[in-house]
């Protein structure tokens, strides 16, 4: 997929989104950097300086062993109470509460929380889609313990083994207040600014931008998610090439609006 670059005072160029296919089912303890390099080699793709690898959260979580069998979860009193109100499995609700700071909204069929990582999402990002199930098991997948740390470690491994400076964006699918549909967002970032502050730059009329901060990592995640898909596409990694990235090494947490600045909370 080719996309035209956003105007930034430089000539437009092509941004290419290349699916990284051939990755096996990732299992706990797998060397994700080695799997990615093998898949890239199998697809005749060589990493280049300035490349960004966008990775679906699930392969990172699987490699880190973040799978939980609901049979091993004992819900507490609060989980039982919330589960009755939202009509969800109390064991799942227990995991959601463990992963969360607070409940943002809930009603029958819906449980939206502020995740301990700082963002707000349904079910704390826990789900079971594309998670292998053994006989009689009900296995769900939690988000990585620290996605920014995961992204930084993976980037370091790739730089050391491939000898090329690349950036990493770990993506997840989130809904948004006031809008239908899920979109890809960045929950882990390394090697690029997650938030691109363009305040003080002139537009084409010479007006100096006053409030423009671009969610760069989220834009990359959303573009990559179109290639990854949401169901059985089997594309958990996308190579993004052609971006002219501003300097910096941000983190996904740079994107999370603090509660005191949230006018809707």
Contacts for 167 with CB less than 8 Å, ≥ 6 apart: 51, 52, 53, 155, 189, 190, 191, 192, 245
Burial level of 220, CB count in 10 A (0-12/13-18/19+)? Answer: buried
Same domain, 123 and 253: no
245 is a domain residue: yes
Same domain, 153 and 247: yes
Give pTM, 2 decimals. 0.89
264 is a domain residue: no
Show which of 82, 114, 141 is a domain's final residue. Answer: 141
202 is a domain residue: yes
pLDDT in tens, the chain (265 residues): 444 344 444 434 688 999 999 999 999 999 999 999 999 999 999 999 999 999 999 999 999 999 999 999 999 999 999 999 999 999 999 999 999 999 999 999 999 999 999 899 999 999 888 788 877 789 999 999 999 999 999 999 999 999 999 999 999 999 888 888 989 999 999 999 998 877 777 777 787 777 777 889 999 999 999 999 766 567 899 999 999 888 889 999 999 888 787 777 6
pLDDT at 233: 66
- B/e letters for 110-125, b = 16+ CB within 10 Å, e = fewer, are ebbbbbebebbbbbbb
What's the total number of domains in the chain?
2
Same domain, 133 and 160: no
Range of the domain at 26: 2-66+144-259
Do 253 and 118 touch, CB atoms closer than 8 A? yes
Same domain, 33 and 58: yes
């Amino acid at each position: 997929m080719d996309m035209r670059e956003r105007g930034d005072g430089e000539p437009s160029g092509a941004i290419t989104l290349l699916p990284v296919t051939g990755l096996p089912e990732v299992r706990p303890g797998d060397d994700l950097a080695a799997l990615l390099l093998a898949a890239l080699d199998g697809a005749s793709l060589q990493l280049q300086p300035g490349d960004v690898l966008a990775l679906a959260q699930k392969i990172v979580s699987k490699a880190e062993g973040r799978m939980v069998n609901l049979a091993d979860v004992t819900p507490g009193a609060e989980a039982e109470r919330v589960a009755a109100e939202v009509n969800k499995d109390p064991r799942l609700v227990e995991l959601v509460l463990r992963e969360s700071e607070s409940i943002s909204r809930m009603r029958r069929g819906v449980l939206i929380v502020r995740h301990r990582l700082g963002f707000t999402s349904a079910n704390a990002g826990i789900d079971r889609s594309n998670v292998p199930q053994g006989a009689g098991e009900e296995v769900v997948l939690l988000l990585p313990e620290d996605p920014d740390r995961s992204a930084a470690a993976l980037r370091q491994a790739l730089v050391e083994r491939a000898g090329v400076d690349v950036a990493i964006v770990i993506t997840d699918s989130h809904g948004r207040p006031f809008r239908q549909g899920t979109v890809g967002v960045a929950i882990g970032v390394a090697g690029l600014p997650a938030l691109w502050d363009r305040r003080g730059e002139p537009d084409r009329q010479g007006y100096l931008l006053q409030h423009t901060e671009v969610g760069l990592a989220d834009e990359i995640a959303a573009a990559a998610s179109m290639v990854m898909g949401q169901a059985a596409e089997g594309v958990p990694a996308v190579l993004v090439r052609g971006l002219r990235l501003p300097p910096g090494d941000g983190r996904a947490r740079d994107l999370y609006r603090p509660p005191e600045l949230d006018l809707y909370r």
